[in-house]
Amino acid sequence: MIIDVLTLFPEMFDGILRTSILGRALQAKRLSVRLVNFRDFSTNKHRMVDDYPYGGGTGMVLAPDPIVRAVEDVVAKTPGVRRRVVLLSPQGRRLTQDIVEELAGLDHLVLICGHYEGFDERVRTLVVNDEISLGDYILTGGEIPAMAIIDAVARLLPGVLGNEESARRESFSDGWLEYPQYTRPPVYRGLSVPEVLLSGHHGEIARWRRREAIRRTLLRRPDLVNWSALTQEERKEVEAIAREENLPLPQQIAEGGAPPADPEGEN
């Protein structure tokens, strides 16, 4: 996969691209990241890439020409592939694991990092076909969101992690947060590892992990649970855990937070 990052500060990526999993992925040629300073595409003699906004207002706006020309250049270098040109913007759809999986299925990803007061709207019109945000807060620029996307996408590329099962079992990979993890020693400061994990019974361990992943999600991120998408078995598990923890069921949260129904009582 090829990722082009259009940025005014390519040096910000030095550390993340040289270390750990991303560094190894680049060395093994599982991934290629090209840093493009779109200031190089400015035709202004002072290499300016921003200007005052029409209509007045504070701050500066990124001009369309350097960015559009930079996008056209990287697209021309990578023809005939599955591609997405992404504007990193607080106006974009919030990044989720489902979106990461979409992006990981592409051949070419172009990430445009903004600064100042945003982009001339014609950038969106002419070259962008997606917008992504990390969340509902403001950052200085698009470089940190770009780093997050590169890291998340790289983990899903074949051969990057070395253990494909590891990626499948992580938080969000199946809609649930990850179950609690333990390692040696079996007792630490009076806290013991759950007996089932020491039993060697793989079926019981798998069931415990599934149940605790659901429990952790209901306790910490019930907003992640899509009730209509759950299997019948998952619904039963959710209902049982909700009763144990005295929690509302996911569909009841949306309806006002009613407590879970008593299965022995009336409807």
Q: Are 213 and 178 in contact (CB under 8 A)?
A: yes
136 is known to lie in a ligand binding site: yes
179 is known to lie in a ligand binding site: no
150 is known to lie in a ligand binding site: no
If you write DSSP's letter for every residue of 63-98 in order, what string do you get? -HHHHHHHHHHHHHHS-SS-EEEEEEEEEEEEP-HH
139 is known to lie in a ligand binding site: yes
DSSP 8-state class, residue 46: T
114 is known to lie in a ligand binding site: yes
Tokens representing 200 are 């060697």
- Exposed/middle/buried for residue 227 (C-beta within 10 Å: 0-12, 13-18, 19+): middle
Three-point CA angle 156, 159, 165, nearest 5°: 65
52 is known to lie in a ligand binding site: no
What are the beta bridge partners of residue 34? 4
17 is known to lie in a ligand binding site: no
Which residue ranges make up the annotated binding site for S-adenosyl-L-methionine? 114, 134-139
Which residue ranges make up the annotated binding site? 114, 134-139
